[in-house]
Copies of this chain bind each other. A is one copy, B any other.
Amino acid sequence: MSGAGPEHPVVVDPGSSRFLSLPEGVTLSESEGVSPGVTYARGFLAAGVAARIKESGRKDLGVVAVSPQHRADAVGAAVFTTNSFAAAPVVVTRKETSMAGLTAVVMNSGNANACTGEAGLATARIMQNTTAQSLGLPANKVAVASTGIIGVPLKGAVVARGIREAAAALSPHGGQDFAECIVTTDRFAKACAFDVTTVDGVVRLGACAKGAGMISPGMATMLCLATTDAALAPSVAKSLLMREVGRTFNRISVDGQMSTNDCVFFMANGASNVRLSSTGVNQLGEALRALLLRLALMMVADGEGATKVVHLLVRGARSDEDARVVARAVADSTLVKTAMYGGDPNWGRILSSAGAALPQRTFPAVSLDIGDVRLVRNAGAVDLSREERERLHEVMRSSEVDIVLDLQSGVAISEIYFSDLGHEYVTINAEYHT
């Protein structure tokens, strides 16, 4: 295990974001700005090592496992990419891991093990089996995830050696090393942990994630692992995760636009000795939502070359689907994204992308607000006062921008968070492979 300090600063908190608030009973657990992440919950061990998958020699492989004395109560859940070219670790984990009894997760960065054919599947199984053997677990209690370059063979011998090293280094203080080992183009590692005071007692909840591609419109891998020491039934863990991913990561990423490697895992081990009532489960769910939204917004803020985070609320839509389609079209528009980068209130691009997404309709009463400035009323531009213009420019210069698009044709809403698109995005993505 690398003895050096953090290679990437671990950001615990997106800071003073207006987009976040903690539910009642939830407090952030951090120490000097560094989060313990996945090892904050009791009874979890983690490690992250440099297995030499990355040429840079940075940490690139990690293991998280329930500690031996809590394995009997270990449960898990997962949400996977829907991409038809799902990577080998996704295929193997989806098919061969029994999530209800998930006890350990192995992840690597630097190589996505995607589009690697039969050899890739074999390597994913080597990762699963080596982790299981190192920890004395059945293989079907181990999940595998990878991120990095697509289509390059991942060598089984290299990862197996790394896994054995990581397994030997497992520690209740390894959360930060693990958070660091999964990053690719991320500017910072992402981890967060909460104390959650439920009606049934205090439980701990922590997570780490990676992802810095301009998450919407997708294709850049998002990995996340959340852990809690609450005692949960597998079905409860699963329904909590499904619901809260839908309310968080799916508000930044977009359905059907997931990368070949995306996955989110959730593990519980009962080490708190707190068994949650239905009220307690709801409280944990709210905390999980806040935790995942925090990580999701860290990803948006870390969007490649991103300088700001935009929250778009589409309201007044005729249907949920209409609202979703419009939110996605606006958030995915490179013209909107570059205008945001330039601090340019070129709101015509917002209406144009919305109108293209729902073609051949009429929205005679549509309105658009950026910050607290109304720019469009009844489908026409508002003649702004000098003061309003100045306020608009100020809003556009800030690092967090609120946009509300009201289609005025129904009651459905959808929201989405997205980053702007700047020069650094081009630089990073034109040069990523070579």
Judge whether A379 and B256 touch: CB under 8 Å. Answer: no
| Residues in B whose Cβ lies below 8 Å from that of A378 | 117
A115 to B214, CA, bound (A): 29
A86 touches B (CB below 8 Å): yes
Mark each residue of chain A from 337 to 367: 1 if its CB lies under 8 Å from any CB of chain B, else 0.
0110110111111011111111111110010
| CB-CB nearest in chain B for A346 | B433
A193 to B332, CA, bound (A): 37
Mark the stretch among A71-79, A216-224, A233-241 that contacts chain B.
A216-224
Judge whether A433 and B344 touch: CB under 8 Å. Answer: yes
Judge whether B380 and A116 touch: CB under 8 Å. Answer: yes
Judge whether A339 and B432 touch: CB under 8 Å. Answer: yes
Mark each residue of chain A from 145 to 168: 1 if its CB lies under 8 Å from any CB of chain B, else 0.
000011111000000000000000
How many copies of the shown chain assemble into the complex? 2
A112 touches B (CB below 8 Å): yes
Judge whether A381 and B83 touch: CB under 8 Å. Answer: no
Contact residue range for chain A? 35 or more
Could you say which of B220, B344, B355, B422 contacts A434, with CB atoms under 8 Å apart?
B344
Judge whether B429 and A422 touch: CB under 8 Å. Answer: no
Mark the stretch among A54-62, A257-265, A287-295 that contacts chain B.
A257-265
Please report A residues at the B interface, Cβ cutoff 8 Å.
Answer: 82-86, 112, 114-120, 149-153, 213-214, 217-220, 256-260, 332-335, 338-339, 341-342, 344-349, 351-363, 366, 375-376, 378-381, 421-423, 425-427, 429-434
A218 to B359, CA, bound (A): 13
Judge whether B119 and A344 touch: CB under 8 Å. Answer: no
Judge whether A355 and B430 touch: CB under 8 Å. Answer: no
Beyond the given pairs A335-B429, A338-B430, 4 more chain A to chain B contacts, judged by CB atoms under 8 angstroms and listed by A's residue number, are A85-B352, A259-B356, A338-B425, A425-B426
| CB-CB nearest in chain B for A114 | B348
Judge whether B213 and A335 touch: CB under 8 Å. Answer: yes
A341 to B339, CA, bound (A): 21
Could you say which of B219, B338, B375, B379 contacts A426, with CB atoms under 8 Å apart?
B338
Interface centre among A85, A257, A347 (most CB of B within 10 A): A85
Could you say which of B338, B363, B375, B425 contacts A429, with CB atoms under 8 Å apart?
B338
Distance of A116 from chain B, by nearest CB (Å): 6
A355 to B151, CA, bound (A): 14
Could you say which of B119, B217, B259, B344 contacts A380, with CB atoms under 8 Å apart?
B119
Could you say which of B83, B214, B341 contacts A359, with CB atoms under 8 Å apart?
B83
Q: A335-B213, A339-B429, A351-B115 are in contact. Are A376 and B345 (CB under 8 A)?
A: no
Judge whether A84 and B426 touch: CB under 8 Å. Answer: no
Judge whether B349 and A381 touch: CB under 8 Å. Answer: no
A149 to B339, CA, bound (A): 13
